[in-house]
């Protein structure tokens, strides 16, 4: 059972090829004030390549469970996450977790590199080239291209907040970002919010922005007012060739709640669904604190400063299963 009472949300569309930057800034700003979600089109990644990325994603999730579990995520959040590994909405998810499986890919950092000691940095886990020969090459190329799109969007966000366009390009911001690509596969189970069954439980994203590429299957919903009783959920339809972009918690903190990090979830409708979020987060040592353009004597900072790596680490630990549970399942033949 899915929520048949939801509405369809009408989102603004930001065209990255538009020469009128003021128009793009105004469109993005209005979207961030209204819903925190918007479409991005003409972003520079070809549809042909996007189709290739989705095809390679499907190949991985089609592997036997035993093969996927050989690439189980590690403590750096690299690798495979099984169904129910993630619990995003513990108050309402009565059946343990999300009915989706995923795969994390981050910035590739060699094990002997001093930076590899940092949270979320280190070598990625890759399927054998004998099983998926083009997989690593495709995902690394996509990670690189999505990062460039994310930086372009961040420049428009900076202007929308009254900052210099290159504010987020500073070395301490996106100079060495925690940029995380995640492949997702929703198995087709029908969600029922009244029974605590969700493809992905209600949550906000943690970082700066998320770029979501999705197939043609619907399922994403947003709630513009998380404090409303009852909450009102709106469908966000897929748009061919577009990213669905949303702002995250860190941008909410930076903007002193001028831009809101919006609650969203995924409801399964009985059809398999594939999506690929790209989470653009600042550098590890970036101090996330209220921007000077977003505070005043009558509107002081609402949040204390916090390091990016500390905030992210806590949020990931809060929402993912402890890896020791998999070590205790040695009796299962993966």
* Domain range annotation of the chain: 13-331
Task: Provide, rounded to the nearest whole percent, the portion of the chain with pLDDT above 70.
Answer: 93
CA distance 32 to 26: 10
8 A C-beta contact, residue 208 and residue 5? no
Q: What is the DSSP string of 53-81?
A: HHHHHHHHHTS-HHHHHTTB--TTS-EEE
CA distance 178 to 208: 10
The pLDDT assigned to 154 comes to 97
Tell me the sheet residues that pair with 1. Answer: none
Instruction: Judge whether residue 88 has pLDDT over 90.
Output: no
Residue 36 Ramachandran class (φ > 0 left, ψ -120 to 50 alpha, else beta): left
8 A C-beta contact, residue 202 and residue 250? no
Q: Is the pTM of this model over 0.85?
A: yes
Q: Give 5's contacts (C-beta < 8 A, 6+ positions apart).
A: none
Average pLDDT for residues 213-219, to the nearest whole number?
A: 96
Instruction: Judge whether residue 185 has pLDDT over 90.
Output: yes
231-256 pLDDT, tens digit each: 999 999 999 999 999 999 999 999 99
Instruction: Judge whether residue 332 has pLDDT over 50.
Output: no
CATH number of 13-331: 2.60.120.330
The helix (H) or strand (E) run that includes residue 314 is helix 308-319
The pLDDT assigned to 333 comes to 42
314-328 pLDDT, tens digit each: 888 877 777 777 665
Tokens of 292: 């000077």
Tokens of 60: 């991985």
């Amino acid at each position: 059972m899915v929520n048949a009472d939801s509405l369809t949300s009408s989102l603004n569309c930001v065209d990255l090829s538009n020469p009128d930057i003021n128009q793009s800034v105004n469109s993005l700003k209005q979207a961030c004030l209204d819903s925190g979600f918007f479409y991005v089109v003409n972003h520079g990644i070809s549809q042909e390549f996007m189709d290739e990325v989705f095809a390679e994603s499907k190949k991985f999730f089609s592997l036997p469970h035993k093969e996927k579990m050989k690439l189980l995520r590690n403590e750096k959040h690299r690798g495979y996450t099984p169904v129910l590994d993630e619990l995003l909405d513990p108050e309402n998810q009565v059946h343990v977790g999300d009915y989706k499986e995923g795969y994390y890919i981050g910035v590739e950092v060699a094990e002997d590199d001093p930076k590899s000691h940092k949270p979320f940095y280190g070598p990625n886990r890759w399927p054998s080239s004998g099983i998926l020969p083009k997989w690593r090459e495709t995902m690394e190329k996509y990670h690189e291209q999505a990062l460039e799109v994310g930086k372009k969007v961040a420049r428009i966000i900076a202007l929308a907040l009254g900052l210099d366009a290159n504010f987020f390009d500073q070395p301490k911001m996106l100079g060495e970002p925690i940029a995380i690509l995640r492949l997702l596969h929703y198995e087709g189970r029908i969600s029922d919010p009244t029974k605590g069954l969700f493809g992905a439980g209600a949550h906000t994203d943690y970082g700066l922005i998320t770029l979501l590429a999705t197939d043609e299957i619907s399922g994403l919903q947003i709630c513009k007012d998380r404090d409303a009783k009852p909450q009102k959920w709106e469908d966000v339809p897929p748009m061919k060739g577009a990213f669905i972009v949303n702002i995250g918690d860190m941008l909410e903190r930076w903007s002193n709640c001028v831009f809101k990090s919006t609650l969203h979830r995924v409801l399964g409708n009985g059809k398999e669904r594939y999506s690929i979020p790209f989470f653009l987060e600042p550098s590890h040592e970036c101090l996330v604190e209220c921007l000077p353009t977003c505070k005043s004597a009558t509107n002081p900072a609402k949040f204390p400063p916090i390091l990016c790596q500390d905030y992210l680490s806590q949020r990931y630990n809060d929402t993912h299963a402890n890896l020791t549970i998999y070590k205790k399942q040695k009796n299962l033949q993966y």
